[in-house]
Amino acid sequence: MSNIVRIILSSLLLIGTVVLFWFGHWGLGILGILFTILAWVTVFFNENMLLAQWFLRKENMPKAEAWLKRITNYEKQLISAQHGYYHMLLGIIESQRAPLQSEKFFKKALTLGLHMDHNIALAKLSLAGVAMAKRNKREAEKLLAEAKKADKNKLLADQIKMMKDQMSMMDKQQFRYSR
């Protein structure tokens, strides 16, 4: 359903809710407010992405992927602010299957724009993990530093520290093998 249709539907619900209150139907008016709010939320947040995020939190990757696949043309179905988040969700799902293949999704998400700092940090941390898997230490260190800088609320501090520890272990192993 396009956003124009959603806006029209939301406006009609709002008018209907006002009419219900006008004629004294308070119970139905309150229910109308809830439906109006739900309709307005779907204008700004695509319901398929919301459900995909829900299933990602529940660690149910197949269902999350199924909900994301319902978005057939993200450029038309999503507002421009959601394009980056769509690719980030695809990257998270792909990183569970084939971590090296998820790189293109995270790069595209950063290119299209993520508005929250912790999401930028998550994308850069994931890219650092891919760079580390490719044995590109310099790129991984750069991305880890950028992720640490973007993680202002320290939500990913443990993961960043763990990845730095893994990089130092990798350096020690390379040193042992080079002798």
The CATH number covering residue 76 comes to 1.25.40.10
> What's the mean per-residue pLDDT of the chain?
89
> Is the confidence at residue 83, as pLDDT, over 70?
yes
101 and 129 in a single domain? The answer is: yes
Work out the number of other CB atoms within 10 angstroms of the CB of residue 120. Answer: 21
Residue where a domain terminates, one of 44, 59, 74: 44
107 and 94 in a single domain? The answer is: yes
80 and 138 in a single domain? The answer is: yes
Q: How many domains does the chain have?
A: 2
Residue numbers of the domain that contains 35:
1-44
55 and 103 in a single domain? The answer is: yes
111-120 confidence digits (pLDDT tens) = 998 989 999 9
Helices 157-178, 117-133: crossing angle, 10 deg rounding = 20
